[in-house]
Amino acid sequence: MIIDVKRWGFFQLDSRFLDEYRERPVNWGFGDLSWVTYKRTYSRDGEDWWQTCQRVIEGMFTIQRVHCLERGLPWDEEKAHGFACKAYDRLFQFKWTPPGRGLWMMGSDYIYERGGAALNNCGFISTKEIDRNFSRPFAWMFGMSMLGVGVGFDTKGAGKREIVRPERNDDNFVIHDSREGWADALTCLLDAYVGEGSLPATWDYSQVRKKGAEIKSFGGVASGPAPLQKMLETLDALLSTYVGKKVDSRLIVDTMNITGRCVVSGGVRRTAQIAFGEPDDQEFLDLKMDMEKVSAWRWASNNSISAKVGMDYSDVAKRTAVNGEPGYLWLDNARAFGRMKDPADWKDERAEGSNPCVEQTLWDKELCCLVETYPAHHDSFEDFKETLRVAYQYAKTVTLIQTHDAGTNAVMLRNRRIGCSMTGIVQAINKHGYRNFFNWCDEGYGYIQYLDKKYSDWLCIPRSIKTTSVKPSGTVSLLAGATPGVHWDHAPYYIRRVRVQAGHDLIDICREAGYHIEEDHYSDNTMVISFPTKVQSLDRRKNEVSLREKIDLAAQVQYYWADNQVSCTAEFDPETEADEIPQILAAYETRLKGISFLPMSNHGYVQAPYEAISEEKYNELMEGITPLKQGPSGTLAHDQDDKFCSGIACEVKL
């Protein structure tokens, strides 16, 4: 057991305190859409919101309690309970939220027994050492993805290994019914193709639980062996075409993407990938041109380049103008700087990449936990500071838990990296004023540094290498009714599509209420529910905001708030703004660490998460829709989180 609750006991909120919230109405930001998103994604065993808040807060303070008592550090139960009540109330009111990972996993037995990897949003793995251990980065990606971590990877291993014809034995490889068992099968296959093992005569899937069986530890239901079998067969066929050839960037990306497809196609989890290639690697840049492969598995990652300050962006930006890829990560900026306001300190000189939404600077094998705050849900900076104290403490608490992976622990326990994020930033600017909001950012950042020294000293752990970021916050923002991250709202009226595992009881509830439901075009065993949405208060829709203004907002937040990074998908008009992309990249390359783009039309994806509609169309769709019967609803699985993006590559994420 990682968190020894049997010896040290649990932290518990007083039942009299909880009684105040049992019947209190929840201020769901988008009504039915928010409730369905919550029930689909975060409600364990049919929880209601007050119970999810209880599990999260009790889990957070249990981890602190055990950490202190195990080490003989001071622990004041009464003081902790007082602060826990404040943290609970602010969570219930959506002044802050854990990330989706935390809403689902914090306080669960799985975390106490298996470690903290599943509480982390972000990860990165480098392929630079595949000459030493070929299968390691792919197995790491696969294992973390099955826990719901979004993972970035690079293509630095290209040219470092040669694929050989594998030896075959007479064995029957029995695949154990666990995350580790699936990863072992992947490792066996990959190692055989570099001469470090042999392929079995048969893969035995008999121990893998049948589709629909309950997964008691992690939660959800089993996908059955079909996705795993498809992955192994596809990789076997792919690798056989490389016999006698060097590993190239295409093979690295395809192998990662095929493992990602396996995780997604089970229908019970969503993960994310981002691939980082070199700007002059034409093979990498052409990966999304093969539409057959894109449809088969290459949709599983966003692809970005490791950009260099001063480079010529003209050619690569032409590709970005077509479908938004590649995106851009200025790794040297991420290594050298915290906030762009502050002098270079090179704290992150060993950073290798970033996570799929590019809000976290990460070392090889590093994971990181994010946490959300909602500045527009506050009327004063003093109130917001109290929320920052809660949010910071949640994220720092997650760093107290070791993971199942020794290499990851070696990085995380040193760096203690966290990402205190803001969402609803456009709403906050509209409410508090442009300059006043950035004063909040600047003063809030300073306050978090004060908190980090205070709490790190108390817990007797290192200070965090970096502490702040802005994530895109698609799903959690839906609960709170916030605009996602630094982005403007889509339109005054739009269809918001939510992906749900086939067989989930929410499908019948939504169908009975009159919502449109159809099969997912991209993922097996997944249904899409369409929610007509009306924005109650809209300053400007995103297509009324220039590309430069979108980029500039990200740069300002990178300057005043984020010492990690700001996740920004800058949507542009392909007819009038595509030609500006090279100039914008050159103008902002010293003010940003990462940026991605997306054309506002012709993205080529059906069933996009957001689709603007007219008021007339909205009224037509709402005819015949009745309020959902919001009652107890069992959660068959921890299903998808949706990221803010209009394309499927951002959708297929945790």
Q: Tokens 């057991």 label which residue?
A: 1
Query: How many whole angstroms separate alpha carbon 145 and alpha carbon 296?
Result: 19
Q: What are phi and psi of 498, to 5 degrees?
A: -120, 130
Query: How many whole angstroms separate alpha carbon 130 and alpha carbon 160?
Result: 7
Query: How many whole angstroms separate alpha carbon 563 and alpha carbon 52?
Result: 30
Q: Assess whether the previous peptide bond of 532 is cis (omega < 30° from 0).
A: no
Q: Tokens 């290459």 label which residue?
A: 298
In terms of DSSP bridges, do strands 150-154 and 610-612 run parallel, antiparallel, or are they unpaired? unpaired
Q: Are 58 and 107 in contact (CB under 8 A)?
A: yes
Name residue 267's amino acid.
G
Length of the chain in terms of residues written: 654
Beta strand residue intervals within 126-189, DSSP E: 150-154, 167-168, 172-174
Name residue 529's amino acid.
I
Question: What is the DSSP code (8-state) at residue 466?
Answer: -
Closest by Cα among 496, 500, 491 to 641:
500
Query: How many whole angstroms separate alpha carbon 427 and alpha carbon 560?
Result: 17
Question: What is the DSSP code (8-state) at residue 644?
Answer: S
Q: Are 548 and 557 in contact (CB under 8 A)?
A: no
Query: How many whole angstroms separate alpha carbon 418 and alpha carbon 243?
Result: 42
Catalytic residue among 53, 68, 262, 357: 357
Name residue 132's amino acid.
R
Query: How many whole angstroms separate alpha carbon 298 and alpha carbon 257?
Result: 6
Q: Which residues contact 76 (CB under 8 A, 6 or more apart)?
A: none
Helix (H) or strand (E) holding 168: strand 167-168
Q: Distances from the Cα of 170 to the Cαs of 166, 201, 544, in angstroms?
A: 13, 5, 64
Half-sphere exposure of 242 (CA within 13 A, CB side): 25
Catalytic residue among 58, 325, 352, 359: 359
Q: Tokens 């009790």 label which residue?
A: 58
Assign 322 to helix, strand or coil.
helix
Helix (H) or strand (E) holding 237: helix 226-240
Task: For residue 355, give both structure tokens.
Answer: 């996570």
Query: Is 544 one of the catalytic residues?
Result: no
Any bridge partners for residue 162, and if so which?
246
Q: What are phi and psi of 100, to 5 degrees?
A: -55, -35
Q: Are 91 and 381 in contact (CB under 8 A)?
A: no
Helix (H) or strand (E) holding 89: helix 77-92
Q: Distances from the Cα of 237 to the Cαs of 7, 190, 195, 198, 255, in angstroms?
A: 50, 12, 17, 15, 11
Query: Is 369 one of the catalytic residues?
Result: no
Q: Which residues contact 487 (CB under 8 A, 6 or more apart)?
A: 426, 472, 542, 550, 568, 569, 644
Q: Report, as residue numbers or ranges, the catalytic residues.
A: 357, 359
